[in-house]
A and B are shown apart, each in its own frame.
Chain A
């Protein structure tokens, strides 16, 4: 979790040259070197481990052995003149910095930096020649070996390996025993460790490497030295997991950074008003909980420690993750505070303002040496922080994505923000997985109504299309929902109801964009702007990419035929249910819109249906209202809806004997029809329709609209007050069970009553019958007059049976796949092989087929 791109190498070289201030280093030169380093250092970006060491890390045994022998190391290697007179010796107490005055601290740091800039006097050109940018680390080591003789290098490394880590970690270890450390104490520990170790370590490095470099390679020693330093820093880092408790270090650093930031903010008074109140005065300071406030001290030390860590090349490895956590926590806290479920406004502008303020603090405190750095470098660092901010903000939005989507389009501003974030940071997979789980958890369970699921689906597609107009997101997120909707039986119906409901949102969509676009046409004019799909996008054949919302809905079913069939059933249902054959303008309008979308030919049948309705109306007017009309004088005003059977869904077959007057009226009507339309006759669907009856009973009059069957049942009670169930079922021609439900309707109306033993009778008066009414739930005849889709399907499959029979007679036995492929040759109706198998298995269970050894055959 290092900051990507903030590789120590680049900063090191930058700092080194600026501090050493060697006159032969021009500004341009420095920046090129920096760039070069950055690119060569990039492979180790984003790794949570130290950069790969060119040499093998010693095992524990080796290390112990080495430590034993190595003790004598420094003294034998050492011997170069110690030009760091201000540097404390090995025995210096850890608290030395506190005791030193400002001057000596500065001197110490300067000497560290001078050391780092060991080769400051080397002409840059020479260094470049030796280490071209493609050189990998291993080759560098070989070069190093050329500069320094191999046994010496080995000795030097061994010594460093055994001594340096312990030296660095010793201040931490001292505090290891203590369980909970006060903030200030932790702060001190880090600071001391960083500073003292930097000083000591550099001194030792100087001693051990200098003799070789001075003696053998003179001016070329700069690069090898830096290389050695860096690797040792990595070594130290690698060793810290062994020697010191991880949690302690983490705790220490986290405290260190949060404390440092707080102090800094406190001093600069740039904090948000509510995080701390500087005017609290009297009591201890809120930032450092010390009285009197030590914030300024902390800040100074904080910067210094950062400098020291940086000088050691340990900044990223050691403090990087902690520092990152602190900054991340800071951003997170702020974002959660200001976003907190307010989805109808964008927060990006406010966040950017806040960020610009904070960014300055971060850079000034963590990278004190960067303050004077070039614009370009500063920009790079702040961009990295910005990405961090956007990532956290994006994740914050994503975590609440479901609620945001539900509120679409009110939540549009925040989705705008998300779109911006996603342009900068790759959050796609996160969004997809998070939203998928959220949808599955909150939407796809049995407790949610289909229309709600559908609504959410629509909102999801819309919102995601808003975020990502290419539709890739929508395509990645929605499959589970589509899968689920496909399994729910009433989905098509719900879609169509909302499509055809004028006030519905989807109806607007239908009106808005009715153009039927051929998706296959590829626009070649701007092929240069073509962008390939990301590699993880499934090649779905029904992609939501270019399609609009209606298509997104239709695509749930794969093809539009299912959809259109269901629309036909829905339309038929509606037309048949219309109590007064009347206004169909709305249906006509809706059909026109659908025609624009699905093409005319598929909706031909629906058009005929509507024409039937309007023709029938004209017919009824002609029979009843025109002068000298045929049926003016009939007892029962029978209005017929004359339909073309081929174009309507199949009606349910149900027998029903209607009351005499009605039957008579039907006969008359048929005659009148035959008169007008030569050679044509009518077949009545007696069980379908609506009847308006006026029931006069016990002094009260009820006017009801009932089904024909219900009316028929009541009609018979006029002649006889009590009927047995059997008797009544014979006279009406219906089954007793169907009859019962009709009777139940009248019982609930308080007109009939159950006399027991399957005998039903009239109640004496309506008022007396009322109390019983409450006991029965009102059963409205809600059955669709059409056969269900599944029965229709079964009849369609039945059509195949003769084909199959013929096939099997000729070829004796066939496997399923063969039958399926042969059927496909002739079949007009599409049929999946699963469906066919089900059908055939049914036939097997009816003993009409024999299934053996994977083959179907006819029984002999």
Chain B
């Protein structure tokens, strides 16, 4: 007997490769989106700081805009985007 697989449709769940499940600012899962967005993933990406903390991009932008000092809300170090 020989079985030939002609096509295999299946389902995968995408996940961010992050060290946490939830955004430290909005407390929504990273796999979801920030409170202002409606669509996750490309439209609501994550950003990593040099301090290795990561947030929804929109969340940290909002945070930084509201602060005088550009610091990470988690560790209070200066916030700098980690370059890839």
Contacts and interface: CB of A to CB of B under 8 A. Distances in A.
B15 A682 contact: yes
Contact of A694 (B4, B8, B17, B31): B4
Chain B interface bracket (under 10, 10 to 19, 20 to 34, 35 or more): 20 to 34
B10 A638 contact: yes
A281 interface: no
Contact of B5 (A644, A685, A711): A711
Interface in A796-842: none
B84 A683 contact: no
Contact of B42 (A576, A677, A698, A714): A677
A679 interface: yes
A367 interface: no
Contacts of A685: 10-13
A640 B13 contact: no
B5 to A, nearest CB: 5
A607 B38 contact: yes
Contacts of B15: 645, 680-683
Nearest to A608: B39
B83 interface: no
A692 interface: yes
A690 B1 contact: no
Interface string B16-47: 11100000000001011000001111100010
Contacts of A688: 10-11
Of the candidates B5, B17, B32, B38, the one having the most CB atoms from chain A within 10 angstroms of its own CB is B5
Chain A interface bracket (under 10, 10 to 19, 20 to 34, 35 or more): 35 or more
Contacts of A703: 6
A697 B41 CA distance: 45
Interface string A698-721: 100001000010010011011001
Contacts of B42: 677
Interface in A482-522: none
Q: How would you classify the secondary structure of chain A's contact residues: helix, strand, loop or mixed?
A: mixed
A645 B14 CA distance: 7
Nearest to A611: B39
Nearest to A696: B2
Nearest to A674: B17
Of the candidates A679, A685, A695, A762, the one having the most CB atoms from chain B within 10 angstroms of its own CB is A679
A673 B14 contact: yes
B55 to A, nearest CB: 13
B46 to A, nearest CB: 7
Interface in A604-638: 604, 607-608, 611, 615, 636-638
A718 B4 CA distance: 10
A693 B4 contact: yes
A646 B11 CA distance: 14
B4 A682 contact: no
Given A608-B39, A684-B12, A717-B3, 11 more contacts: A607-B38, A615-B41, A639-B8, A639-B9, A643-B13, A645-B14, A677-B42, A682-B15, A689-B10, A695-B4, A785-B11
23 contacts: A604-B38, A607-B38, A608-B39, A637-B7, A643-B12, A644-B41, A645-B31, A651-B11, A662-B8, A669-B12, A673-B14, A677-B41, A677-B42, A682-B13, A683-B15, A689-B8, A689-B11, A693-B4, A696-B1, A696-B4, A697-B1, A715-B3, A715-B5
Interface of A: 576, 579-581, 604, 607-608, 611, 615, 636-647, 651, 659, 661-662, 665-666, 669-670, 673, 677-686, 688-698, 703, 708, 711, 714-715, 717-718, 721, 751, 762, 785
The 3 closest A-B pairs by CB, nearest first: A689-B10, A646-B32, A682-B12
